[in-house]
Chains A and B, each alone.
Chain A
């Protein structure tokens, strides 16, 4: 899980152009969206959906789950571990 969390941090930095952020700056349990975390927005949510589909073969079928899955790097990693197809 730790390895996947670090990999995800790297992918988020690269795909979302978080130029001024290092993996060490990202708290795996902090919220990705809104205040108190990375402060991502809806366009970033689309980019994360693409990371899940392209890199892990995961398609989120139920949009209602999105808020829970996208809460933090850790929740993303847990969802990938449970659903990974690639």
Chain B
């Protein structure tokens, strides 16, 4: 694939907004001045909209040719409110607001409405590969000649989803996490310290460390890179990281990233790689619950 440049990255995690690695003051009232819009937004919508608006603030609306968002479980808080109201009210007299706001594409839609962006707007909900699907689409949009694409990923923890995931044993290795990440992608010639997305590969199902290592070697080979030269950002467990590092004979120690688990954590890993890796070629190895795997190869001049 043709390398795509990431010109800006924003992250909202634990109420701290960072833009290109630097902390920025964050006042949601300033970002969304309309109180009647604000009051209907649940926590995840506020997180996503704030992060997306901040990321796109320097771009004129008519220069944004697409908004592509990703989420594993969507607007869970509103979905839970709506489902609860179905039970409590015996399937009658349901409140419209949680229903309207519970859809997966609420965040992409709200950003478009607030900024008056009338272009392509799609949300990917592909479990642990939601962000990767969105990234592939965004890269294809840029490759097809669209100018700036606003790419984002958002997921939230709610009390009941946390309870269910704990009971299902999904928190055995990592605690649950949440966050909002947005990026501006375009075909601009990358400047110094700007990151490009060079290649993406995804796999579903169990993958042995040997199979994973072979995929990495194939990816490195088709991009003319020696696998041992890669700087690895490990969004996977420590055992896999060590095993892959040995098999690839990595010259540099992998950068450990994974401290929690949620469907679109790989977006946070991308932000981490942009702001922490200075290598020419960085590879993000991601793994969601051992069943969704991805490789994102980044370049830097």
CA distance A46 to B40 in the complex (A): 14
Query: Are B40 and A17 in contact, CB atoms less than 8 angstroms apart?
Result: yes
- What chain B residues lie within 8 Å of A39 (beta carbons)? 35-36
Q: For the complex, give the distance between the alpha carbons of A54 and B95 in Å.
A: 11
Q: Which residues of A contact B89 (CB under 8 A)?
A: 54
Please give the number of chain A residues whose Cβ is less than 8 angstroms from any Cβ of chain B in the complex: 15
Q: For B169, what are the chain A residues with a Cβ–Cβ distance below 8 Å? A: none
Cβ–Cβ contact B93 & A16, under 8 A:
no
Give the docked Cα–Cα distance between A60 and B211 (Å): 65
Supposing A17-B40, A54-B89 touch, asked if A46 and B96 sit within 8 A by C-beta, the answer is: yes
The answer to whether B36 touches A47 (Cβ under 8 A) is: no
Chain A residues in 8 Å Cβ range of B94: 50
Query: B93 contacts A53, CB within 8 Å?
Result: yes
Chain B 73-100 near chain A by CB (<8 Å), digits 1 or 0: 0000000000000000100011111001
Contact B100 A43 (CB under 8 A): yes
Point out the residue from A18, A19, A47 that lies within 8 Å of B97, measured CB to CB. Answer: A47
Say which residue of A43, A53, A54 sits within 8 Å of B96 (CB atoms).
A43
Question: Quick check: is A15 within 8 A (CB to CB) of the other chain?
Answer: yes
Chain B interface residue number, banded: 10 to 19
| Residue B167 lies at the interface, judged by CB distance under 8 Å to chain A | no
Contact B96 A47 (CB under 8 A): yes
Q: Tell me whether A41 is interfacial, beta carbon within 8 Å.
A: yes
**Chain B proximity of A25: nearest CB distance (Å):** 12
Q: List 29 A-B contacts (CB under 8 A).
A: A15-B95, A16-B39, A17-B39, A17-B40, A17-B97, A18-B39, A19-B38, A19-B39, A20-B35, A20-B39, A39-B35, A39-B36, A40-B36, A41-B36, A43-B40, A43-B96, A43-B97, A43-B100, A46-B95, A46-B96, A47-B95, A47-B96, A47-B97, A50-B93, A50-B94, A50-B95, A53-B93, A54-B89, A54-B93
Question: What 17 new A-B contacts, CB under 8 Å, besides A20-B35, A20-B39, A43-B100?
Answer: A17-B39, A17-B40, A19-B38, A19-B39, A39-B35, A40-B36, A41-B36, A43-B40, A43-B97, A46-B95, A46-B96, A47-B95, A47-B97, A50-B93, A50-B94, A53-B93, A54-B93
Q: Which 8 A-B pairs have the closest CB atoms?
A: A17-B39, A46-B96, A50-B93, A43-B96, A19-B39, A53-B93, A54-B93, A39-B36
